[in-house]
Structure 1
Amino acid sequence: AGTVLSANAISDDGSSIRLKTDSGQGWVSRDAVNPNPTLDRLPKVQANSDSPMQSFYFRTHPGGNLDCAQTPSVLTVQSPQHIKVNLTANGADIEMGSLITLQVLADGMTMQLTTLEGDAIVGKGTADEVDVPAGSTTTHCLSAPQNLGDDGNPNDQILGADCKWTQPRSATVFELEQGQTAQAILDRLGLTRTDLVIAEPTAAPTEAVQQPTVVPPSPQPPPTECPVGTNITHVVSAGENLYRISVRYRTSMGAIMAVNAITNAERIFAGQRLIIPCGVDMGIPSIPQKPPGPPSIPGNGQAPPGPPIFPTGVDCSRFRATSPLDGLNYGSNTFYWDGATGATSYRVNIFGMDEAKGALVASFDSRGTATSLTANITNETTGFGFKFAWEVQALFNGVVACISNRTTMPRAARSGGGGGGSSSSGSFTASWGCSASLTYKVNYANTPPGTTSVTVSYTGSGALASGSITNGVPPDPGSLIFSATGPSTASGGTITANPSSATLSLTGSPSC
């Protein structure tokens, strides 16, 4: 048996129990403890005087002036097993029964949440609610720095009001291995998760309310031995994920993916046999395993840390977007970046920050290992709007290994374009993208003279059926909206002006 913890209060709604420890107090969900009527007799604490919600502001600076490139600049939050906890981080309400990482991306204006194990929900009970399952990540824009914390400095940020949480995407191997490094640090420092259970109470005294106790179980056994330099075979069990398997054997998730030719970390299945390469560095040489003591060498008496090991052999340490950083042309733009050693190709992603509310609106792939590409950033390719952001991804055989900082900037206005209406002085233009979760939006302008309506046709996949929809004209410029019932992709889109039958192709395949 472990240390006994006292439960000394219950929340006013009865959903959370407050525990007292040597280092302070904390709250756990009532659902996480054994049913016990004694809990209802604990003193109730009003939400406005001592809320179960843990609230804080945080800042991270990935890739910026770090002496130790092997330590990821992320905040790792881990709940006890089978216990859901609630947090407010930078104004974001998060419910988690899991292991997550939080970070502010290098642009300083984007917060990212990645779920490594279990499940996390952001904005629960609101229109902005997003479920982030294990192996997924989501982002949200942040406000300008404000003075909100206890240090008296204007360095705190909260969720921005002009965007929403993005639909979760599969986390990259690099993002997952950042969390793997953090988990390995927790394991090696003995900060592993434990289940909490309420001990059976003894008879309560008549004048006083008995305080139930919470007893952590015995420590978990150490990870399965995986001798350095050898390979072993692991059979995947139901409910396992690649992240947890890599932590169990103290090896790199990227190395497991590479040796088993896995391109998507989420796509493993029960019964699958995996080769586990033992002893691949997870980037934490400063925290030795027991027995401690690095080998002695002349000079300083200990071996220096080796270079960081990155997933699939791609070195992300110097990878960054370099130009443009201050603005985009309307039309042709050339994007430049510092390459990632080992990458086989690159992809530039464009995000619409005003009209598309931060959604991905276009992607452009490089030719081989070239560290620049030229793309047209116009209404037809990236949609309407004057504020865009871009990032570049480094890929290894089609698998995303690194993601650069995301840079937000204005796009210049279209020169000499039509000013609206059905004027013949401008050309018929149209674009499409996501306006909200599960919602597609088609923007159009400068329809041919005499146009009375436009018809959009598209091929749907996922939870979107193929179809067409017609909108009356005027207005011009105008927009047309259609929705899906779940995550989906639209492709092969066209827009036709009636009755002239002038038709444009809608570029890209938005996923909403």
Structure 2
Amino acid sequence: GGSCPTLVKQALAAIGPNCGGLARNTACYGFNKVGATFSQAVADDFFTKPSDQATLSTVASISTAPLDTDLSQWGVAVMSVQANIPDSLPGQAVRFILLGNSQIENAVAPPSTAPTPQPITVKVTTSANVRSGPTRNANVVGSAPVGTELTADGISDDNQWIRVTLSATVVGWISRDLVTSDADINTLPVVNGVPQTPMQAFRLKSDVAGLNCADAPSLLMVQGPKNVKIQITANGVDVQLGSTLIFKTTQDKKFQIGTIDGTGRIGNQVIPAGYMTEAGLDENGDVTGRFGAVLPIPKAELDQLQVLEDISPDVLNYKVTVPDRVVPITPRPTTVPTSTGTTVNTTGKADCTNFKATSPLDGLAYGENTFYWDPAPGATSYRLNVAGFGTTDSSGTNVTYDLFNAGQNFQMSWFVQALVNGQVACTSQTVTIPRQAQPPPFSASWKCGSSSGDVIVNYDNVPPGSSSVSITINSLETTQTYAVPPRSGSKTFKGFFSGNGYVTASGGQRIDLPNLVCSSSD
């Protein structure tokens, strides 16, 4: 066998001729050695050598072998996954590259053998929300104006909701009362949820125990087509990507998600390129609890991931470019602050030479702020101290801290400590800077308009940091979103006679609109 770096390069180059041009919903044996189980009996020589392919709907699991230079093996498998890409975009697919000591299980139920019914066209009669599930308790995934024609392929078991395709990548549910059709809606089959294609939901396990080669990572890389938002479910967690992400598990039962380029999203948590987050796993391998802070991928790991750039472009949507360093998410201000003291090394266990607080230096927002500092090599964690308010710990070189409850102080001081195994090793300079005044309270109200069926919604003082404000009127089954600024506005809705609603800022603040009855004129 060859050396570790040579074997890895050989494997990543070989998957191009072995698996290039892979059809959608297909798995390919990329490089020795790959194991697989199937949902049906297969021949003894099926999927046993490089370039062998299998239909993804029959695959139960795929495992790739750890690096072994003596046997010249480092398992690589390639999958072309449809995910939420509609059939109307036949050339597009999500690329899965499974590397090293890893295993992936298909968590999508096998397809039904029942005949697929013909979809029908429905027309929206009133501006309507499209939701992620057949209930008003499900979140809104989009909206459809009056007159929009949508393709419907199913109905809820209570006959109240229709499953529709809203866009190239969004499938959701719309109230049956808000659509009409020339076809018979009752012919639609009863369906549940939003359908998933093979491997769109999966459970991953990877292991680096005993591996002594930094050039041979064990992980899953997922790459979506450019400019298409992809929805997948990884170890029980819904993830959105418009980019290239990596997934792996650790020996201490953590599930890690990192972004190589573009952005990833878990709920409202955004993961920029060069950053990662992690959560714990239960005994079944599913995520339990919340994901932690979004932190820079450690430099040593970024160095290891550079090998992903050697993956043959024949099996990708576009060439992988791994960041070689992490660029801060937001620009750091250059204003010279009022500061006292200098960085102090109190234990000598970490290198404090370049350790200093770097942002914010010119002013604090009233509420949420993200603090940055330059690292102290050797530190195992860091602690942000906001004088007179509190502290919070971080394993990286930034942390977001909410000062909303810090009182009416117009000036505040902060500093950072570098810790080694819980003991303070370095203390940065103290930064004393002004803080924004408390903003006026966010408020909203509504009233009946002068014309029959009109209702007027007023909102004022949308909280700082919000990029938009949304108005939801439940009886109209509509949500309209408006850009901020301006931070105050007045909006008129038609076709309203009674009901309630709410106004929501993009930061999450919500104001309920009480029940209102507007009498109609004859």
Do the structures match in fold with TM over 0.5? Answer: no
Compute the TM-score of the two structures, normalised by the length of structure 2: 0.34
Task: Provide TM-score, normalisation by structure 1.
Answer: 0.34
Structure whose residues are more often strand by fraction = 2
